[in-house]
């Protein structure tokens, strides 16, 4: 039984399912993919998409009741996918505006797509000093990281964890994205895999499909590592990482000189 820590399962809150029925369909799909627990992570974008903490918690409760009534073996927990903003560390402290993943120290963060802001180092450090651990959402789809993957490696060295989308490891995604996602795994720059499911057909749960792909390419220990980490995040327990291998985006002759 696996845990999915990033998806948009709650209806009528963000760009996830519009109707309750769509959400139920998604829940069925999750169960088929061998998932027992999901952390629903609606988008939080400061200024234009700010679902309230209460609304999310309320919808989660409602959903769990519904699932129990329909005997769907799935438990929903609440969280958020928070688009990065400079005051995130203080916002987390006050605990009113944003949510971590299931009340754990882990905070799912959507990075800006244009550039990695200069304050990131201080922000991540301050978050960790206050007991929060940044988790970078679908890093493989972020252009700054695609351009310079060592930026991601450096953030890992500063204590950030990296989540990639299950879809990026399957044939449903572009070849280039698939290639980059695999490169990140090879460089030990991935710690979590999650579905980021939005819709039964357009953006479905593909978690088990992705785990199978990982097992086929990298072996069982890798799959076990990812699965275990997702559960540790759900339970708010700490996890260890392997040292990331820098990409060394240097000119080839410099590599030669080494």
Judged by the rule CB under 5 A, the positions of this chain that interact with Fe ion are 81, 196
Burial of residue 197, with CB atoms counted within 10 A of its CB: 0-12 exposed, 13-18 middle, 19 or more buried: buried
Please, are residues 13 and 50 in contact by the beta-carbon 8 Å criterion? no
Q: Of 55 and 239, which has the nearer Cβ to other proteins?
A: 239
Encoded tokens for 216: 């086929």
> Residue 211 binds which entry of other proteins, Fe ion, none, with Cβ cut-offs from 5 to 8 Å by kind?
none
Helix 20-32 to helix 53-69 angle (10° resolution) is: 70
Please, are residues 37 and 235 in contact by the beta-carbon 8 Å criterion? no
Q: How far is the CB of 81 from Fe ion (least distance, A)?
A: 5
> Residue 239 binds which entry of other proteins, Fe ion, none, with Cβ cut-offs from 5 to 8 Å by kind?
other proteins
Question: Could you say which of 36, 64, 93, 128 contacts other proteins (CB under 8 A)?
Answer: 128
Q: How far is the CB of 70 from Fe ion (least distance, A)?
A: 25
> Residue 196 binds which entry of other proteins, Fe ion, none, with Cβ cut-offs from 5 to 8 Å by kind?
Fe ion
Does 85 bind other proteins (CB under 8 A)? Our answer is no
- Three-state secondary structure call for residue 6: strand
Does 129 bind other proteins (CB under 8 A)? Our answer is yes
Query: Where do we find the tokens 């030990």?
Result: 188
Q: Of 15 and 121, which has the nearer Cβ to other proteins?
A: 121
> Can you tell me the distance from the alpha carbon of 39 to that of 163, in angstroms, rounded to the nearest whole number?
14
Residues 106-125 that bind other proteins (CB under 8 A): 121-122, 124-125
Alpha helices, H only, the chain: 20-32, 53-69, 88-94, 120-129, 143-147, 149-157, 175-186, 207-218, 220-235, 252-257
Residues 188-247 that bind other proteins (CB under 8 A): 188, 218-219, 221-222, 225, 238-243, 245
Sign (positive or negative) of CA dihedral 80, 181, 210, 21: positive
Does 87 bind other proteins (CB under 8 A)? Our answer is no
Does 103 bind other proteins (CB under 8 A)? Our answer is no
Which spans of this chain sit near other proteins (rule: CB under 8 A)? Answer: 105, 121-122, 124-125, 128-131, 133, 157-159, 188, 218-219, 221-222, 225, 238-243, 245
């Amino acid at each position: 039984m696996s845990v999915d820590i990033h998806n948009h399962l709650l209806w009528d809150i963000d760009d996830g399912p519009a109707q309750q029925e769509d959400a139920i369909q998604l829940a069925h799909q999750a169960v088929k993919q061998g998932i027992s627990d999901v952390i629903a992570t609606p988008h939080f974008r400061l200024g234009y998409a700010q679902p309230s903490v209460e609304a999310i918690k309320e919808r989660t409760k409602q959903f769990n009741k519904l699932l129990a009534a329909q005997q769907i073996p799935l438990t929903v927990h609440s969280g958020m996918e928070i688009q990065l903003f400079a005051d995130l560390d203080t916002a987390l402290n006050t605990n009113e505006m944003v949510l971590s993943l299931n009340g754990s120290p882990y905070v799912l963060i959507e990075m800006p797509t244009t550039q990695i802001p200069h304050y990131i180092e201080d922000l991540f450090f301050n978050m960790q000093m206050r007991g929060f651990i940044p988790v970078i959402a679908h890093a493989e789809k972020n252009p700054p990281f695609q351009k310079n993957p060592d930026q991601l490696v450096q953030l890992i060295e500063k204590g950030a964890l990296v989540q990639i989308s299950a879809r990026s490891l399957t044939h449903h995604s572009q070849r280039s994205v698939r290639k980059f996602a695999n490169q990140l795994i090879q460089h030990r720059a991935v710690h979590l895999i999650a579905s980021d499911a939005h819709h039964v057909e357009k953006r479905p749960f593909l978690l088990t499909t992705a785990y199978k792909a990982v097992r086929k390419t990298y072996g069982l220990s890798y799959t076990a590592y990812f699965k275990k980490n997702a559960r540790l995040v759900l339970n708010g327990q700490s996890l260890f990482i392997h040292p990331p291998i820098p990409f060394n985006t240097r000119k080839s002759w410099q590599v030669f000189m080494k």
